[in-house]
């Protein structure tokens, strides 16, 4: 993958973003994947007009309702999912130009690093992405926000993220 998919990474934030997709409010790149995978699954099940059916269940809210019911039946409550965190670091452009990820593995390493809190997974940690490949960017524009409950992890993660992109 040459850039992160969607606008968020991190367990809780990805679940929230997925819920937004079920409501039809997901980012374009992620919604494209939702439709592609949904069409494949429905086609394999022998269902015709797959794209139309996916659009219908998203637009009428039933996709979200089914997910909500499945979570409830497993003892969960989607209203308890949050992306709350104690600390964040903003990564801003140091110059103007065209934004390009060059090493998304570094982003993954940074996210894995901030996901650890005292030897345990920090489910509220993650990142929000504000730029995609080939976006025009101005000096000072927000590129990414890293967030976690462990501030020292964020400082190290920022160094990794700064090695993951260029601005030409």
Parent domain of 145: 87-167
Asked if pLDDT for residue 84 goes beyond 90, the answer is no
Q: Tell me whether residue 42 is in a domain.
A: yes
pLDDT band at 82 (very low <50, low <70, confident <90, very high): confident
- Could you read off the pLDDT of 34-55 as tens digits, one per residue? 999 999 999 999 998 999 999 9
Asked if pLDDT for residue 118 goes beyond 80, the answer is no
Which CATH number does the domain housing residue 148 bear?
Answer: 3.90.1170.30
Q: 118 and 57 share a domain?
A: no
Q: 94 and 162 share a domain?
A: yes
Q: 91 and 163 share a domain?
A: yes
Whether 54 contacts 64, CB under 8 Å: no
pLDDT band at 8 (very low <50, low <70, confident <90, very high): very high
Q: Tell me whether residue 1 is in a domain.
A: no
pLDDT band at 123 (very low <50, low <70, confident <90, very high): confident
Q: 58 and 108 share a domain?
A: no
């Amino acid at each position: 993958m040459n850039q992160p998919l969607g606008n968020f990474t991190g367990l809780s934030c990805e679940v929230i973003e997925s819920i937004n997709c079920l409501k039809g409010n997901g980012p374009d790149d992620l919604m494209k994947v939702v439709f592609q995978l949904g069409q494949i699954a429905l086609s394999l099940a022998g269902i015709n007009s797959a794209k139309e059916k996916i659009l219908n269940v998203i637009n009428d809210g039933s996709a979200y309702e089914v997910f909500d019911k499945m979570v409830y039946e497993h003892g969960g409550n989607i209203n308890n999912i949050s992306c709350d965190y104690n600390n964040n670091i903003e990564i801003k452009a140091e110059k103007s130009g065209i934004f390009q990820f060059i090493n998304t593995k570094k982003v993954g390493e940074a996210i894995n690093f901030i996901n650890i809190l005292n030897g345990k997974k920090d489910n509220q940690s993650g990142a929000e992405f504000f730029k995609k490949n080939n976006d025009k960017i101005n000096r000072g524009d927000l590129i990414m926000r890293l967030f976690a409950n462990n501030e020292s992890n964020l400082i190290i993660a920022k160094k990794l993220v700064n090695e993951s992109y260029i601005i030409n």
